[in-house]
Amino acid sequence: MTMQYEKPAELYAGLRLHQNEHTGGCSRKVLQALARLTREQIGQYPPYATAIDVCARHVGLAADEVMLVNGLDEGILAMAIAFLRPGSDGPAPEAIVPKPAFEVFDVAVGVVGARLVEVMPLSDFAFPLDGVLSAITPRTRAVIVTSPNNPTGVSTPVAAIQTIARRVPTGAIVFVDEAYIDFGGQSFVPAVRDFPNVVVGRTFSKAYGLAGLRVGLLLACADTLRPLRLAVPVYSINVAATVAVVAAIEDSAYREDYVRQTAASKALLYDACARWGFQYWPSDGNFVLVRTGERTKRVLDGVNGREIYLKDRSGEPGCAGCIRMTTGVLDHTKRLIAAIEEILCGEP
C-alpha cells in the first residue's frame, strides 16, 4: 500500500527535487513524538542515551561505536578537524576525494587548511580504484568515498573500500559517506570492526524525512571515534532531533514505503529518459543523474517556470550537460515527468 503525502508546506513553495530530501516529509509518528515534548525537556540540555541506544541497535553496533552529529555535514567537518589539520611545520595533510562528489567535502578540507587531491571519474562513473590508490602518498590523511555516490547514484564496492583502507598510511582514515544507503548498495558498517581506520557517515535526512531537524551518525570503532567526539560541541544535537530520530527509526513501515516509492519512481524516470533520448545512470540513491545535453537550459528553465526545482550538475567533472533529479514520492515524480514531457513537446 502506498502512503499518501500532503502538499509541501507553504513555507517552501513548489516541488523541491534538487536537494534529495524526502518530499513527503517526516512520519506522522515523528510529529506525535515531537508534540509530546514537555516544557521541562525543552528547557533542559538534551540527554542522548536513548537516541544513541536506538541508533546503535538499528545499525547493529554498540553504543560506543555510534556518534550523533548535527546532520552528516557536521560529521564531515568533525572528520576534517580531527584528521586533516596541518601541523606546525611540513607539508599540508592531503585528503583524496574521487569526483564528482558532495560539495561539503571540498569545503571541509579547505576550511582546516588541508590539501584536496581530486581523482577524476571514469567514463561510466564506476569507482576509480586505481586512480585513488595512485593518489595515496605519505601525506594522505583521509580518503573520502561516497556510496552510493552523489550525484551519480553509483555504489562503491565494499572490497574497493577495504583495499583502500589497507593501503593508506598509518594514522589516516577512510571516510565512507552512506547518506543514500537506505535506497541501495552494500553498507560498509558490518566490516567496521575489522577496519579501525574506517568511519561511516549516515543521515536521517533522506529516507526518514528529518532534513529540517539535522541529525546524522558517525559509525566506527570506539577508539576511532574519540578524536571526532572532541571536534563537535557538547550539545550539538537538540532535544527535538533526539526524540524525532527514535520515532523515525521505530516507524519502519514509513521508511519502507518511501524506499518502495523511490524504486518505482526511478523506473518511471528511466523509461521516460529512454523515450526522450536522454542518457541516465541507474541509481542506488533517491535521485537520478540525467544527461540532457543541449536541452539542459530548456529543461531547467521550463521546470523552474512550473515551480519544480532540479539540480544542475553540469559543472562537476564528467557531468557536462547533466541534471540531478530527486525521485522519491511517486506522485511527485509523475508530476516531474509530465512537466518535462510538456517542455520537450513544445520544442520547435
The whole-number pLDDT of residue 273 equals 97
Query: What are the structural domains of the chain?
Result: 15-25+253-345 (3.90.1150.10), 28-250 (3.40.640.10)
Rounded Cα distance between 136 and 156, Å, is 18
The whole-number pLDDT of residue 280 equals 97
The whole-number pLDDT of residue 14 equals 85
Name 218's bridge partners: 67, 201
The whole-number pLDDT of residue 346 equals 72
pTM score, two decimals?
A: 0.93
Q: Give me the average pLDDT of each 10-residue run along the chain (348 residues).
A: 50 82 95 96 95 97 97 96 86 95 95 96 96 97 97 97 98 97 97 98 97 97 96 95 97 96 98 96 98 96 95 96 96 96 81
Nearest to 310 by CA among 14, 81, 18: 18
Do you find a cis peptide bond into 148, omega within 30 degrees of 0? yes
Q: Torsion over CA of 296, 302, 303 and 305, rounded to 10 degrees? A: 140
Residues for the chain: how many in total? 348
Name 66's bridge partners: 219
The whole-number pLDDT of residue 10 equals 47
Q: What is the DSSP letter of 151?
A: T
Nearest to 259 by CA among 22, 43, 11, 47: 22
The whole-number pLDDT of residue 1 equals 47
The whole-number pLDDT of residue 87 equals 80
